[in-house]
Amino acid sequence: MTPAPDPTDPIKALLDAASAKYMSSASEALALADEAVLALAALGERATPAQQARVLRTRGLALHYGGRHKEGLAELAMALAAVPEADLALRSIVQRALSIGNELLGAHEDAVAWAAQALTAARADGDPLLEAEALLSLGVGYSRSGQAEAGLEQFAQVLVIFEREQAGGSMSVLNNMGINCKNLGRLSESVAHYERALALAQGDATATAVLQSNLGEALMLLGRLDDAHAALVAALPVLAPSGYAEAHTNARVTLGRVLLKSSQPAAAQAELELALRQSAETGGRNYAARAHQTLAELHKQAGAFDRALHHAEAAHAAERAQFNDESDRKVGALRVRMEVASARHEAEMHRARHVEVTHAHDELKALHAALLAADAEKNLLLTRLAEQSRTDGLTGLANRRALDEHLFDAMARSRRYDQPLAVALCDLDFFKRVNDRFGHATGDEVLRRVSAILRAHCRATDVVARYGGEEFCIVFIEADAAVASRLCDALRCAVEAHDWAAVHPQLEVTLSIGIADDAHLTTPEPLLAAADRHLYRAKHEGKNRVCWHGSVPASNEHQMQRASGQP
């Protein structure tokens, strides 16, 4: 609904109303921004460059929130060009909008770069609240790109400014600080930030529930299960009707984990299965993998190994789907940026064709430089697009998409030349405990180091890929399962012997591996499924081992040792 016009500044009234609608209804925000465009046009020559920049900024953000990123980037670029050179405050506001737009697009590096520019302009202007807003965007950009420590530093500066200026927003900043501290494994600090935020959220039931849910997870990781249970039970009834579907599902999954840790498997199973139904109904699968992992652990503890295997496989499938979604989103972001670069290239070409003869020499020199810059940006984006579509961002290994291509080709060559081929699925043992006990930053470092070990110890002809989560896949060219098992046992020993104390004094990491070989299959799926079955057997028989169709089951190993006279 369009707000009542402000007789002193009707355009500002429309822009304020549009800004309030970004997250709840992007289409309404865009409609209000379009009304502001018409109101600006009605002013004719009386319209100022600053008004034009503000209208373009609001419309650009509305387009971004509506998923129309290419148009949003173009609109915000025009907004920045319209900002008067001396208006540092408006420049900072538009640059922050470019940071938000790139964040929504998934271009985290660009979001950080624009936030840094907005911070420079805000500090030059001398407005502390404008500086705080730019620092907030910088903190979000760092956090979303995996730099939790850097993000935390920015949020701490924002909090100081908000409290000094007695401005609102401290509750949201404290929540972000709690999340970053949790991800860094600084759990006591995380709890303290959440509790401070809860004290500020009094009277806001939805904000309180979201904070209680986040607090519940930090308390669980600290081992304060009763406190975690109380926080989550208080949050769930408020989150259910709030419209925050993912927060509601996350709280239910966390409650299931708390109940399992509290030796209440029946109640835990009920919560986790309800969370999976909610996830399926809302279309969000961010927490499905965690729910399946917890159910796999629950059924394994109960001795229901078939059910445990079912949920373990479902967890892997959910992680792979989420991983592929993230990869597609990154590729989409690069494609949008490439299209914007191409549009700029075409615009410069159009200008070049219509340059005035009297200014041809100087103008063409400038345009030529602009064209070269646009071409260079386009080529860089094309290169990054190709790399990111086939590479896992965290480990630098081939991703699932690249693995599928390699494996399909390798199987075809193996059949054509009658050569052996083996596939190994490798899974880090107790990796969930690493994340829960030492934090996700430590977990990420473990994944990076294991990836480096696998690359260093595999042959040049082998293909090493991240299969999803903490699972890796190796394609052994011209090797059967027996040869691959010897290579994999060396990998397993290298991982176990690595200096993990350099990462954390109490850290130990081992690897379970399943191997399959059948060069006569025509598609990768049955081969991977066979390797997955042997991997599950390796996990079931005690972990930190290699299993394949020729390996001795753990139940027979002791008997064979006795028969051969071994101790």
| Band of pLDDT at residue 513, cut at 50, 70 and 90 | very high
What are the strands, taking DSSP E only, across 246-378?
Answer: none
- Token pair recorded at residue 69: 């990123």
| Band of pLDDT at residue 107, cut at 50, 70 and 90 | confident
How many CB atoms are located within 10 Å of the residue 361 CB? 9
Per-residue pLDDT at 488: 96
Mean pLDDT of 500-525: 90
Cβ(466)–Cβ(448) below 8 Å: no
Render the burial of 123-145: b for 16+ CB within 10 Å, e for the rest.
bebebbebbbbbbbbbbbbbbeb
- Return the ∠ at Cα 445 (arms to 507 and 485), rounded to 5°: 75
Handedness of CA 145, 147, 151, 152 (dihedral sign): positive
* Of 523, 520, 487, residue with least CA distance to 416: 520
Per-residue pLDDT at 321: 76
| Band of pLDDT at residue 3, cut at 50, 70 and 90 | very low
Written as one letter, the residue type at 91 is R
Helix (H) or strand (E) holding 416, with range, is: helix 400-417
pTM for this entry = 0.62
**Beta-ladder partners of 424:** 474, 515
How many CB atoms are located within 10 Å of the residue 443 CB? 21
- Kindly give the pairing relationship between strand 546-547 and strand 511-517: parallel
d(Cα 527, Cα 515) in Å, to the nearest integer? 9
d(Cα 160, Cα 132) in Å, to the nearest integer? 9
What torsion do the CA atoms of 552, 557, 563, 567 make, to the nearest 10 degrees? 140
d(Cα 544, Cα 29) in Å, to the nearest integer? 55
Q: Is 240 exposed, middle or buried (0-12, 13-18, 19+ CB in 10 A)?
A: middle
Does pLDDT of 232 surpass 50?
Answer: yes
How many CB atoms are located within 10 Å of the residue 350 CB? 9
Per-residue pLDDT at 324: 74
Mean pLDDT of 96-103: 92
Per-residue pLDDT at 15: 93
Per-residue pLDDT at 58: 95
Cβ(277)–Cβ(289) below 8 Å: no
Q: Which CATH class is domain 188-303?
A: mainly alpha
pLDDT tens by residue, 129-165: 999 999 999 999 999 888 889 999 999 999 999 999 8
Q: Which of 298-312, 324-338, 359-373 has the lowest mean pLDDT?
A: 359-373
Whose tokens are 């600090």? That residue is: 189
| Band of pLDDT at residue 330, cut at 50, 70 and 90 | low
DSSP code string of 474-496: EEEET--HHHHHHHHHHHHHHHH
Does pLDDT of 493 surpass 50?
Answer: yes
Per-residue pLDDT at 354: 53
Cβ(355)–Cβ(364) below 8 Å: yes
**Beta-ladder partners of 391:** 398
- Token pair recorded at residue 152: 């935390």
| Band of pLDDT at residue 280, cut at 50, 70 and 90 | confident
Computed on alpha carbons and rounded to an integer, the radius of gyration of the chain in Å comes to: 28
pLDDT tens by residue, 292-313: 999 999 999 999 999 999 998 8
Mean pLDDT of 220-240: 94
Per-residue pLDDT at 4: 46
What fold does the segment set 400-563 form as a domain? Alpha-Beta Plaits (3.30.70)
Half-sphere exposure of 48 (CA within 13 A, CB side): 10
Q: At what angle do helices 225-239 and 245-261 cross, to 10 degrees?
A: 150
| Band of pLDDT at residue 476, cut at 50, 70 and 90 | very high
- Of residues 494 and 355, the one with the higher pLDDT is 494
Query: Where are the domains positioned within the chain?
Result: 188-303, 327-388, 400-563
Written as one letter, the residue type at 279 is S
Does pLDDT of 287 surpass 90?
Answer: no
Q: At what angle do helices 69-82 and 305-353 cross, to 10 degrees?
A: 50
Per-residue pLDDT at 564: 42
Distance from CA of residue 261 to its chain's centroid?
27
Does pLDDT of 60 surpass 60?
Answer: yes
d(Cα 463, Cα 484) in Å, to the nearest integer? 13
- Of residues 91 and 560, the one with the higher pLDDT is 91
Helix (H, G, I), strand (E, B) or coil at 518: coil
Handedness of CA 280, 283, 286, 289 (dihedral sign): positive
- Token pair recorded at residue 281: 């109904």
- Kindly give the pairing relationship between strand 471-477 and strand 421-428: antiparallel
Per-residue pLDDT at 371: 65
DSSP code string of 335-366: HHHHHHHHHHHHHHHHHHHT--GGGHHHHHHH
